Structure 1
Amino acid sequence: MSSYKWSDLVDINSKTRSYTSRLACIAHIDVNAFFAQVEQIRCNYGRDDPVVCVQWSSIIAISYAARKYGITRMDSIQNALKKSDKIIPIHTAVFRKGEDFWQYHDGYGIWNEDSSKHITPEQFKVSLDPYRRESRKILKLVHEYCDLVEKASVDEVFVDLGRLCFYALLFDESISGFGSLRDQFRNGNYELDDYLPPVPLDLSLEYSGLVYGADIDPQSTEVTFKDWDDVIFCLASQKTQEIRDQIEAVLGYTTSCGISRTKTLSKIGSNFKKPAAQTIIRNSMIEDFLDYEGVELTSFWSLGGTTGKEVSQLLSVPQEFPLRYVRDSWPISCEELRQYMKKRLSDMNSSGVTFQTVDEAQISSLADKIFKLVRGDLKTAVNSKPMIKSMMSNKNLRGDSCKHFSDCMAWLEVFSGELNGRIHEMEQEHGMHFVPKTLTVSTRSKTFERHSRSAPMTFNGSHLHSKDILELGTRLIKDLDLKFGQADWYYPLTNVNMSLSNFEIVEAGRSIIDIFGRQAQVTKTDDGIVPDGTTGKASSISPSRASRAVDVINSHFECEPCGKTFENEEAFREHSDYHYALQLEQSYNGAKEDSTSLSYGERRLLFSSTKRAASVATATSKRRKDNISRSSKKGNMDIYKFFSR
């Protein structure tokens, strides 16, 4: 009998519960030397060409062909070319100071003997837009196979394979050997708390990739299936191989992949063997993998850098088998680990040892995380929804490259173009509207003092444009210049940046009123539907007169501009969108003489006296008819509502 239950199997078919199942299966797919591959393909180089991607004089990505010459990320491009003149340097795309668009300057770079072809940080800003664009293509391909995909960074994704494996196991007729299990499932001859039947002995399945700790040969794909988790991982490896093959065939990129029951393990697994390989970490081999492959606390996603080093110091973990040490020292529960960490932190602080990132407030969550990480059991969901909180365009400045307000303006031009482009890219990627509510401009003086200004975003139309960002940014940077610009400690600036925050993320296809803020709320009472006394939260981009106050009488929704009534809110909102579209059209092409959206004063300003009279007569006649129509429908109307119109 299996050690897994039917509930474990059924749960992997759930979007919300899949990652919590004991049969959970998650993959991490990482593009090898991504930036270098992008430039290699863009410039029509082959995989054997030693391409390196350069930013100023630093190497930021090294193709595997270039690594054969001993090139590392620590090398400058000048040192790399000394190691081998076969190296092919390609500089990233850049924004030029004062321009809101990026472009490539192929053949240009600090290594060029012609100084006029140098790309300097004083006059340029690196653009990562080409890599984001390729990242979107990869993400789109992965989404064609799976509906639970999380973009971890520009070159890596997590994929929850539970639903794919569930279908392959129980419904895919091209996969044989599971007839008995399928019959039992289809006929409902099971209870969720029942254990699954034993795995068939005559399965003809084969893993695709390296199965860590294989019984016969570490490189073998012929591994015994001890339980249903092994079967799930095998099916998953076939799916990820298919996805990776498609990425390579369509886009040309090679990838590495890790497959396990958690995101953290899979990320480490994808880095285990590179390039163009995948590693499967079965549940029975998790602790062996963690102990014998040089995995440390700092190896884990979210524990890298200072935090991981400080936790290692706090726990006094040895260099050899550090994770086993933690498991063996605190084997029962995370509570004993929590108490130890709390006391140890207090003792070390008392003796004068201070930590940058670890404090008493974090001990509880850190102890729980570490207790699970060292056992390969930290379960987190694959989150396919964008969780953007803020977006920044930043420039570290050198020398006198920003010594005046006009220099600030030139960099704001760059920032506005970059931020606007990134928002539009996200909208294409996710099929949603991203509406920033706050803009912040920040500067760092020559004495390294930070100053900033923020303001709510306001712009016209249904989409954000770079000029909207630039206009508000200009006002904020001007405010900073007026206050600090005359001080001898302010210019030249050492950093300037612009950020957008407080994003409202709205599903595509929703009503414009939903996006820009409804101007009348409706409350359901015992006596029917009545207008709420308070308005909803006003959006900073509400469309002016697009949707005027709505009278809700006898459970009807009424449009004041044209007098039409609607039985439900959805129809009313769609009709309101029509008025908003008319207003947008008029803002671009001008209002017509008989437009009912114009006030009498606006009509006097826009039209000549001859045309005005006819226009007013037409509009007045139409409104009289509308008033008569409304009066006949409403009967005895409240006099306050009559005059409030």
Structure 2
Amino acid sequence: MPSPLTTHRRRRPLERPSPPHHRIVLLFDLDAFYAQTERVRLGLELDASVALLQWNSVLAVTYPAREYGIKRGDSWEAVASKSKHKCIAIHLPILPMRENDSRIVNNDDSKVAEDEEEQDENDSEGKDISFETSNTDREAFDKEFRLSKEEREQIFKNENGVQRYHHQGKASLERYRLASRVIFTNVLDSLKRRVGKGFILEKASIDEFYLDITEYCYGDVEGKCDNDDDVDVRKTKLVGGNGKEWGETELDMNDADDLEVALWRACQLSACIRNDIWKNLGLTMSAGISTNKMMSKLTASFGKPNGQAVLHPKNFGKLMSETKVRKVRNFGGKLGKRVLDVLHTNSASEQSLEDFSSNATMGDLAQVPLTVLQQAFSSETAQFVFQACQGIDNEMVKETSGALVKSITAFKSFTANKNHDEVLAWLKLLAKEIAERVAQDAARNHRYPKTCTLNYTYYTTADGRRPQDRMSARTQRQSRSYRLVFPADRMSIVAQSESLVEQAMTKLAPILKEHPLRGVGLAASNFESRGQPPEGNASIESFFSVETAINMTQGDFRHKSNNNSSALPNNKRQRINSAPFEAQVPHTNESKEVPWNFPDTTPTVIDTDLELAKKLQASYDRENYVFSKLNSRGEGMPRRERKRRQSKSTRFSRSDSGKSLFTLGPFRQSFLQLILV
């Protein structure tokens, strides 16, 4: 058998088998992701025992810690007693309920969870720009995880064994989202370097990635794995091979069928990618290699921890006969429950449904005829279930262009609460987190949400009344949601948070009078792409796509548009938006100083574009009217001055009505540009 590390620029192309086994699909699964991330942050060895907790429940456990019998759901006391205080116990980062609360030791160094200092409402240099676009994910990752020895020792001292409580704040997963994005980017970069093209990478969850390398495995282009001397693909476990590793078999690559050779190539590339992640980030991944998503996910469990396993279609039947129904992808929820009900009904078992469900396998399900499944399910669902129990999954790997999420969500559960002020405090915390995460996402991915969904939960009895005991058999959990408008991206983070809170409390106030809430959440969604902001001044063509609206509320002069183009630099726009109302309206009389420096040149006009000129003229007439009304508004100023301005504004409107924009002087042209954008 040739060495697995021998590579060539060109190799023998392979013939693809017929469906359904014509694809090569991998699943990369981070080992104990949350706990492992903390191990890397604290600079601990690979064999360190680490448990990550949320409140009084273990969320994730490294594999060395599992040897003590520690499992998910254990309490702080259980972790300490089982390991005899040898297991490191770290709590999730939390967003503090009250800023500058001395009782809380914030264990999240990321900007998301930092206590922000109180600042003046008009200070646009503060919270408005708390997320700088120059800070890439990798830079943030290095700041969070590449700490000095002294810093890590101090963090370990402050966090190990320190318990947190519900009332202190909300758990934050931003540290782990950041790590997930960096891992995804590293996997993608490694694939591009080694394969070039011929792969599809999908982010399935925060710690799982699907990879379709069918084109690479069956093609004639050799990958770049020849310099990985510490990678040995022969350690890959063979599922269905009686516990053997690939190197222990008598497989002759010259006599192997094309599917076996393709799987071998996939194992080789998988080992190289996993090794890259270990070298670059210090994180371990397990991998499952097979011919579809469902089987590669099942296979990955045989490679854990820090290993990989491969499954040939000829061994599908054996694996499915040993696999519990609820352990299979897509069978863990409502579909799995219904399938087990049908299986139990059509079996001769005298066990209860609960006992039967805990032992039923996909092999048992394979004995149910398709006609029986079609009576219980739709034709499409019945076909899916029938094929799944044979190891067939036709779902394609879908390319993820970046580590994008469909929604940005923050939720907080708490004890039953009807107190308006306390619910308001939680909403402020959630809104602030959402606004900050959206700002990060917008800077990174150039997109912005249009909507925000308010979610809340409460408990009632079957007759709709307030329950006396939440655990009563007659208690029902109720979940409701309302759609809110996500604030404009030009607003500061503080203003966005206040807008979300105001909208949410308007919806929740009537609910609080009837039911105590058990939890509230906000979810930003319905993203739309935004182009890169233009450098320098925008061209005149950019004005035509802007639908201008001015909110003429006291002390508020804001421009809103459907794009992010502006002739003003960001810092100047921020100064303008934060200025007092009167300072934002330029005065043309000589006794007043114009607060902005306008360009001396006028915009270039395309004489032949009559249609665009008409649109611009219409916009000018409309803005001229709004401007006159804005000038005439003046609550708070002397009556005589207000009348004088009204008279002047009327003369301005009449004198300029019907005139072409291009006959105006440079000052008014420049000002029109400003209010149009």
Q: TM-score range by the shorter chain?
A: 0.5 to 0.7
Establish whether residue 136 from structure 1 lines up as the match of residue 160 from structure 2: no
Deviation per CA, 1:190-235: give whole Å up to 9, x if none.
xxxxxxxxxxxxxxx9645112344995563542443111111101
Letter in structure 2 aligned against 1:413: K
Partner residue of 1:610?
590
Letter in structure 2 aligned against 1:497: G
Partner residue of 1:73?
72
Change over 3 Å in CA distance of 1:368–1:451 after alignment to 2: closer
Partner residue of 1:43?
42
Shift of 1:243: 0.7
Query: Per the alignment, in what secondary structure is the counterpart of residue 392 of structure 2?
Result: coil
Partner residue of 1:458 out of 463, 487, 490: 487
Shift of 1:467: 2.6
Partner residue of 2:167 out of 98, 122, 129: 122
Change over 3 Å in CA distance of 1:510–1:257 after alignment to 2: farther
Q: Do the aligned partners of 1:93 and 1:126 also contact (CA within 8 Å) in 2? A: yes
Q: Do the aligned partners of 1:19 and 1:380 also contact (CA within 8 Å) in 2? A: no
Establish whether residue 92 from structure 1 lines up as the match of residue 105 from structure 2: no
Partner residue of 2:505 out of 475, 478, 482: 478
Q: Distance in 2 between matches of 1:108 and 1:173?
A: 44
Change over 3 Å in CA distance of 1:450–1:537 after alignment to 2: farther
Partner residue of 1:397?
414
Partner residue of 1:499 out of 503, 507, 523: 523
Question: After alignment, is 155-164 or 409-418 more displaced?
Answer: 409-418
Letter in structure 1 aligned against 2:310: I
Partner residue of 2:338?
310
Partner residue of 2:211 out of 145, 149, 159: 159
Q: Do the aligned partners of 1:412 and 1:474 also contact (CA within 8 Å) in 2? A: yes
Change over 3 Å in CA distance of 1:459–1:220 after alignment to 2: same
Change over 3 Å in CA distance of 1:445–1:614 after alignment to 2: closer
Structure 1 residues 580-599: aligned runs within 5 Å: 580-582=566-568, 584=570, 586-590=572-576
Establish whether residue 373 from structure 1 lines up as the match of residue 388 from structure 2: yes
Shift of 1:77: 2.1
Change over 3 Å in CA distance of 1:161–1:308 after alignment to 2: same
Deviation per CA, 1:436-466: give whole Å up to 9, x if none.
11123334457466565432223143xx863
Q: Do the aligned partners of 1:391 and 1:500 also contact (CA within 8 Å) in 2? A: yes
Aligned length: 501
Change over 3 Å in CA distance of 1:219–1:614 after alignment to 2: closer
Letter in structure 1 aligned against 2:177: R
Deviation per CA, 1:175-199: give whole Å up to 9, x if none.
8xxxxxxxxxxxxxxxxxxxxxxxx
Establish whether residue 436 from structure 1 lines up as the match of residue 449 from structure 2: yes
Q: Distance in 2 between matches of 1:48 and 1:388?
A: 32
Q: Distance in 2 between matches of 1:283 and 1:19?
A: 12
Change over 3 Å in CA distance of 1:408–1:388 after alignment to 2: same
Change over 3 Å in CA distance of 1:441–1:173 after alignment to 2: closer
Q: Do the aligned partners of 2:548 and 2:559 also contact (CA within 8 Å) in 1? A: no
Q: Distance in 2 between matches of 1:315 and 1:247?
A: 43
Q: Do the aligned partners of 1:290 and 1:374 also contact (CA within 8 Å) in 2? A: yes
Q: Distance in 1 between matches of 2:51 and 2:606?
A: 72
Partner residue of 1:323?
362
Shift of 1:32: 1.0
Change over 3 Å in CA distance of 1:581–1:221 after alignment to 2: farther
Establish whether residue 212 from structure 1 lines up as the match of residue 239 from structure 2: yes
Partner residue of 2:266 out of 225, 228, 236: 236
Partner residue of 1:415 out of 430, 434, 446: 430
Q: Distance in 1 between matches of 2:78 and 2:560?
A: 63
Letter in structure 1 aligned against 2:327: S
Q: Distance in 1 between matches of 2:534 and 2:236?
A: 44
Q: Distance in 1 between matches of 2:433 and 2:238?
A: 43
Q: Do the aligned partners of 2:548 and 2:560 also contact (CA within 8 Å) in 1? A: no
Letter in structure 2 aligned against 1:96: P
List gaps (5 residues or longer) in structure 1: 1-7, 13-17, 176-204, 331-336, 346-359, 522-534, 548-575, 592-600
Q: Distance in 1 between matches of 2:242 and 2:252?
A: 8
Partner residue of 1:296?
324
Letter in structure 2 aligned against 1:580: S
Q: Distance in 1 between matches of 2:421 and 2:270?
A: 52
Shift of 1:495: 1.1
Change over 3 Å in CA distance of 1:508–1:309 after alignment to 2: farther
> Structure 2-normalised TM-score?
0.63
Q: Distance in 1 between matches of 2:311 and 2:259?
A: 11
Q: Distance in 2 between matches of 1:469 and 1:389?
A: 20
Shift of 1:476: 1.7
Q: Distance in 2 between matches of 1:69 and 1:224?
A: 42
Q: Distance in 1 between matches of 2:248 and 2:77?
A: 44
Query: Per the alignment, in what secondary structure is the counterpart of residue 494 of structure 1?
Result: strand
Structure 1 residues 458-607: aligned runs within 5 Å: 458-461=487-490, 466-480=493-507, 482-485=509-512, 487=513, 489-491=514-516, 493-505=517-529, 544=559, 580-582=566-568, 584=570, 586-590=572-576, 605-607=585-587
Establish whether residue 54 from structure 1 lines up as the match of residue 53 from structure 2: yes
Q: Distance in 2 between matches of 1:98 and 1:250?
A: 38
Change over 3 Å in CA distance of 1:98–1:438 after alignment to 2: farther
Query: Per the alignment, in what secondary structure is the counterpart of residue 484 of structure 2?
Result: strand
Q: Distance in 2 between matches of 1:450 and 1:325?
A: 36
Change over 3 Å in CA distance of 1:409–1:227 after alignment to 2: same
Query: Per the alignment, in what secondary structure is the counterpart of residue 609 of structure 1?
Result: coil
Shift of 1:79: 1.9
Letter in structure 2 aligned against 1:126: A
Considering only aligned residues, what root-mean-square deviation do their CA atoms show, in Å? 4.6
Q: Distance in 2 between matches of 1:473 and 1:638?
A: 39
Change over 3 Å in CA distance of 1:164–1:123 after alignment to 2: same
Q: Percent identity?
A: 22
Q: Distance in 2 between matches of 1:417 and 1:614?
A: 36
Q: Do the aligned partners of 1:208 and 1:237 also contact (CA within 8 Å) in 2? A: no
Shift of 1:101: 3.8
Deviation per CA, 1:60-108: give whole Å up to 9, x if none.
1111111111112242221232223222211111111145942698667
Query: Per the alignment, in what secondary structure is the counterpart of residue 521 of structure 2?
Result: strand
Shift of 1:421: 4.4
Partner residue of 2:372?
340
Q: Distance in 1 between matches of 2:601 and 2:592?
A: 15
Shift of 1:244: 0.6
Change over 3 Å in CA distance of 1:302–1:615 after alignment to 2: closer
Shift of 1:253: 1.4
Q: Distance in 2 between matches of 1:604 and 1:507?
A: 28
Q: Do the aligned partners of 1:150 and 1:157 also contact (CA within 8 Å) in 2? A: yes
> Structure 1-normalised TM-score?
0.66
List gaps (5 residues or longer) in structure 2: 1-11, 100-110, 115-143, 145-154, 192-198, 227-231, 348-355, 460-465, 467-476, 552-557, 619-657, 662-677
